[in-house]
Amino acid sequence: MSMIKIHEANRRLWNNMAADWEERLNRDDLWHRCHKEPELAFDGGTLDTIQEMVGTLRDKQVCVIGSGDNMAAYALAGLGARVTSTDISEERLKLAADRAEVLGVSIDFVRTDAACLESLVDSSFDLVCSTNGFFVWIADLSGVFCEVSRILKSGGAYIFYDIHPFMRPWKDQVMPLKMEKPYWETGPFQESTDESYVFNWTLADLLNPLAQAGLIVKKVLESPARDSDFWRGSNDASETDESLLDWRANPRAGLPVWLTVAALTS
């Protein structure tokens, strides 16, 4: 199946799921806070890395690709950046725009495929970022990274954090530790309940096309989950269980959960 057909199938999924997903976000209410508490929108040392690589964000031109819940967009706008939020789902962007108005932050919302950012001008952004849950929906990593390289200014930064590829092969349970698939089996996998497709990219799958797009990797971070709630679904526990952060009780906790990468244009 072609990249366009896969991405369009995923767009339909997210348009259909938008209202239900936003209702889930309403329950934890973090979106109300992240424009004033930007650390809530990032994991894996990503916010510190952004500030280290870019410096002050005030009046910087920033693009969030595959913006999804738009937590990162709200957070970066709250830090003074001039934010453009792009996503393939128009329904998610409509909801995000309504929330931006509630928060009083100014964000430009653009519906576009991350692998074809043709509506965005060359060399126009100081920072491009993507966050957790982006790459799993992407069929064409090379296309995405080439577009990122194109829209970044000279010396601009692309910074992403996402689930570490080492998390992907395992069955989602604490014990017994069980591998569900080989690490190198990357997809596309069709979701059983709908016509959508996901990918489990390897570390090499992410870093090689990034470099081939002309982006120079400056920093790589591998981080554990910072609280046990990350593992709650695996444990089916209704209350916090700090033992889940101990690799002896939960072997997957001994592997990196987050991958953060910072790369610059030449």
Task: Please report where in the chains the tokens 């009083």 appear, as a residue.
Answer: 104
pLDDT digits (tens, 9 = 90+) for 21-69: 777 766 677 889 999 999 999 999 999 999 999 999 999 999 999 999 9
pLDDT value for 261: 99
Domains of the chain: 3-264 (3.40.50.150)
Cα gap 173→170, rounded to integer Å: 8
Average pLDDT over residues 171-181: 93
pLDDT value for 236: 54
What residue spans of 162-251 are helical by DSSP H?
A: 203-212, 232-235
What string of H, E and C letters represents the secondary structure of 204-222? HHHHHHHHHCCCEEEEEEE
Cα gap 197→139, rounded to integer Å: 9
Spatial CB neighbours of 142, under 8 Å, sequence gap ≥ 6: 209, 212, 213
pLDDT digits (tens, 9 = 90+) for 57-71: 999 999 999 999 999
Mean predicted lDDT score pLDDT of the chain: 94
Copy the structure tokens of residue 23: 């209702």
% residues pLDDT > 90 (the chain): 82
Q: Which of 29-33, 130-134, 232-236, 261-265 is least confident?
A: 232-236
Angle of CA points 179, 231, 30, to nearest 5°: 135
pLDDT value for 23: 74
State how far the alpha carbon of 201 is from the alpha carbons of 24, 26, 168, in Å.
27, 30, 8
Please answer whether residues 195 and 12 qualify as being in contact, where contact means their C-beta atoms are separated by less than 8 angstroms.
yes
pLDDT digits (tens, 9 = 90+) for 246-258: 999 999 999 999 9
Banded pLDDT at 191 (limits 50, 70, 90): confident
> Could you tell me which of 150, 148, 159 has the C-alpha nearest to residue 55?
159
Indicate if the pLDDT at residue 160 is higher than 80: yes
Please answer whether residues 67 and 112 qualify as being in contact, where contact means their C-beta atoms are separated by less than 8 angstroms.
no
Burial of 216 (0-12, 13-18, 19+ CB in 10 A): exposed
